[in-house]
């Protein structure tokens, strides 16, 4: 028997977040419409199309500016230049805007319309029931941030004459004289040479970053927090143990107590209790970030398993159980290769339905619905023109239309137990079955069925819907021809028999 967990199901209206890379999206809009378009001029049909697809949140990734120094790093980095050749053949220096995560300030650059344009754009989204998500980068700033000159003590660094060795750093002359300031860093990789590392051990640095977050939060309905686990107290202490925290005289001082995220999220929620916090997170630290207040955290493990067509995806989801509702599920984002370039169509359909129908936040990426294949590098302000793939376009259009008529994301979602169809047949271990039911409807529910394996799988799924016993139920696969009539008592006692083709997916509408 596979056990999805006996913890009570959680009610959720799972957000459907659509990520657009602001610079490349506006560039493409301008090219298609034959005129320069910024946030002021986004066409009505673009916004209406988002609402029609059922999106609940729009993530304007890469809205904030990159300064000239950080752009130069992106322009001359040898590995990046080779990546640009693949992403945008024939690119020129003018196409390189720099990383949008080397932020010089939290304001909208004039080229994208300016701050007032963002306010107006958010209002237009709200008129369509859409909420706005923006980036927040807690770990570092760009090289051009004003703090580098005016408040250099907020960064990991030391006076150049202090004798402190900082292997990956840059020299900055500012309010505290000439200093070495470290580049932002993930402990498992080389430093990001277009960034400067905030010293989260310093109380004034924590206050400054919380103030930045509060200003961002005032302008949107949620934030996606870049590499959120890097500023966990123990992670940060380990990463930067080789550089002491020092005052202006170069003397060591104690690190601030407590967790940044607990304080930062509480500060925002004091004014905005419904504000959305999404964490990019890895290293089995996801649950800690949820405990500190995040609504959702990346489920990178599921992504990796699905992309490798690994049967372990079903086990992973069962192990998470109700915690799936606090994960963000995706097949694409700006950091990963395109799904259509990695998954064959036969596996793509089931993977797409899975990520769209699990409890939790569902993330779709600009270009995913059209089947783009090119990995569009975030340092580029323009992307290659690609024709939509008709099969992928139809796949997502069909799925989104089918899901719109169901309880998926509209009530309570829970993973169901699946038991063996007969002794010795362990293929039920490869099935994931999710049940959704509206909280005010005992006469209907929906079952999402996905086979993760490259072979047929059989099993009995045991629904847990309210009102199941005592009546006859009609079950129709809205994605295929399968149709059943079952008595509720049979479904309760034995379950629903499933026989699912390799990598296939089904969506049963169940009505009494």
β strands within 86-234, DSSP E: 131-136, 140-142, 157-159, 169-174, 177-182, 195-197, 222-225
Same domain, 421 and 490: yes
Q: How many CB atoms lie within 10 A of CB 397?
A: 12
Residue 178 lies in a domain: yes
- In terms of domains, do 126 and 197 share one? no
| Ramachandran assignment for 233, one of left (phi > 0), alpha (psi -120 to 50 degrees), beta (any other) | alpha
Length of the chain: 512
Domain match, 157 and 243 both: yes
Can you tell me whether residue 124 is helix, strand or coil?
helix
Judge if 145 and 272 occupy the same domain: yes
Q: Is residue 288 part of a domain?
A: no
Whether residues 175 and 128 share a domain: the answer is no
Q: Which domain holds residue 318?
A: 11-136+299-403
Q: Beta partners for 382?
A: none
CATH number of the CATH domain containing 364: 3.20.20.80
Beta strands (DSSP E) in 148-247 are: 157-159, 169-174, 177-182, 195-197, 222-225
Would 290 be classed as within a structural domain? Answer: no
How much is the pLDDT for 176?
Answer: 81
Which residues partner with 450 through β-bridges?
Answer: 432, 505
Say yes or no: 166 and 269 in one domain. yes
Residues 142 and 272 in one domain: yes
Cα–Cα distance, 111 to 90 (Å, whole number): 23
* CA-closest candidate to residue 503, choices 468, 440, 457, 443: 457
Same domain, 85 and 206: no
At residue 139, the 3 state secondary structure works out as: coil
Radius of gyration of the chain from its Cα atoms, rounded to whole angstroms: 25
206 & 118 share domain? no
Tell me whether residue 287 is in a domain: no
Q: What are phi and psi of 323, to 5 degrees?
A: -70, -10
Assess contact for 509 and 406: CB atoms under 8 A: yes
Per the domain annotation, does 411 fall within a domain?
A: no
- Looking at the structure, do residues 363 and 433 belong to the same domain, yes or no? no
On whether residue 477 sits in a domain, the answer given is yes
pLDDT (tens, 9 = 90+) of the chain, 512 residues, equals 444 433 223 233 689 999 999 999 999 999 999 999 999 999 999 999 999 999 999 999 999 999 999 999 999 999 999 999 999 999 999 999 999 999 999 999 999 999 999 999 999 999 999 999 999 999 999 999 999 999 999 999 988 888 888 989 999 998 888 999 999 999 999 999 999 999 999 999 999 999 999 999 999 999 999 999 999 999 999 999 999 887 766 677 888 999 999 999 999 999 999 999 999 999 999 999 999 999 999 999 999 999 999 989 999 999 999 999 999 999 999 999 999 999 999 999 999 999 999 999 999 999 999 999 999 999 999 999 999 999 999 999 999 999 998 999 888 999 999 999 999 999 999 999 999 999 999 999 999 999 999 999 999 999 999 999 989 999 999 999 999 999 999 999 999 999 999 999 999 999 99
**Same domain (yes/no): 348, 433:** no
Cβ atoms of 434 and 357 within 8 Å: the answer is yes
Phi-psi region of 498 (alpha: psi -120 to 50; beta: other; left: phi over 0): beta
> pTM, whole model, 2 decimals?
0.94
Q: Is residue 364 part of a domain?
A: yes
Among 376, 403, 430, give the residue marking a domain's end: 403
Number of structural domains (the chain) is: 3
Identify the CATH number of the domain in which residue 474 sits: 2.60.40.1180
- Identify whether 409 is part of a domain: no
Shared-domain flag, residues 122 and 151: no
CA-based end-to-end distance of the chain: 27
Side by side, the strands of the sheet bearing 418-419 are 418-419, 457-461, 496-500
Q: What's the confidence (pLDDT) of residue 250?
A: 66
Phi first, then psi: give them for residue 119, nearest 5 degrees.
-60, -45
């Amino acid at each position: 028997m596979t056990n999805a967990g006996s913890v009570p199901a959680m009610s959720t209206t799972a957000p459907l977040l659509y990520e657009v890379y602001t610079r490349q999206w506006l560039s493409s809009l301008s090219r298609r419409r034959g005129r320069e378009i910024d946030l002021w001029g986004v066409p009505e049909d673009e916004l209406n199309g988002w609402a029609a697809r059922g999106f609940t949140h729009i993530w304007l990734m890469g809205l904030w500016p990159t300064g000239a120094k950080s752009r130069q790093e992106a322009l001359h980095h040898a590995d990046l230049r080779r990546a640009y050749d693949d992403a945008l053949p024939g690119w020129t220096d003018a196409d390189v805007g720099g990383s949008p995560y080397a932020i010089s300030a939290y304001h909208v650059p004039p080229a994208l319309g300016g701050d007032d344009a963002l306010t107006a754009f958010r209002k237009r989204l709200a008129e369509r029931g859409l909420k706005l998500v923006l980036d927040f980068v807690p770990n570092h700033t760009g090289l051009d941030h004003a703090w580098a000159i005016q408040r250099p003590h907020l960064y990991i660094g030391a006076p150049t004459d202090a004798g402190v060795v900082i292997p990956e750093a840059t020299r900055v002359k500012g309010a505290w004289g000439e200093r070495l300031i470290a580049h932002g860093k993930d402990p498992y990789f080389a430093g990001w040479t277009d960034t400067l590392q905030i010293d989260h051990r310093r109380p004034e640095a924590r206050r400054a970053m919380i103030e930045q977050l509060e200003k961002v939060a005032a302008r949107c309905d949620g934030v996606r927090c870049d590499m959120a686990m890097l500023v966990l107290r123990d992670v940060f202490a380990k990463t930067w143990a080789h550089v002491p925290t020092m005052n202006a005289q170069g003397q060591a001082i104690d690190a601030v107590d407590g967790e940044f995220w607990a304080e930062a999220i509480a500060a925002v929620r004091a004014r905005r209790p419904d504000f959305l916090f999404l964490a990019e997170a890895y290293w089995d630290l996801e649950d800690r970030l949820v405990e500190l207040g995040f609504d959702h955290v990346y489920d990178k493990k599921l992504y990796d398993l699905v992309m490798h067509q690994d049967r372990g995806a079903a086990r992973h989801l069962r192990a998470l159980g109700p915690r799936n509702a606090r994960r963000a599920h995706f097949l694409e984002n700006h950091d990963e290769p395109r799904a259509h370039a990695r998954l064959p169509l036969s596996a793509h359909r089931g993977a797409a339905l899975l990520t769209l129908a699990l409890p939790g936040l569902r993330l779709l990426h600009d270009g995913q619905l059209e089947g783009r294949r090119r990995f569009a590098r975030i340092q580029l302000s323009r992307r290659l023109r690609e024709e939509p793939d008709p099969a992928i376009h139809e796949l997502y259009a069909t799925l989104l239309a089918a899901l719109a008529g169901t309880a998926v994301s509209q009530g309570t979602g829970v993973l169901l137990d699946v038991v063996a169809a007969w002794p010795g047949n362990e293929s039920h271990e490869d099935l994931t079955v999710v049940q959704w039911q509206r909280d005010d409807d005992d006469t209907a529910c929906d079952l999402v069925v996905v086979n993760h394996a490259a072979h047929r799988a059989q099993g009995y799924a045991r629904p847990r819907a309210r009102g199941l016993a005592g009546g006859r139920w009609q079950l129709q696969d809205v994605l295929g021809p399968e149709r059943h009539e079952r008595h509720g008592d049979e479904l309760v006692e034995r379950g629903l028999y499933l026989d699912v083709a390799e990598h296939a997916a089904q969506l049963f509408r169940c009505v009494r």
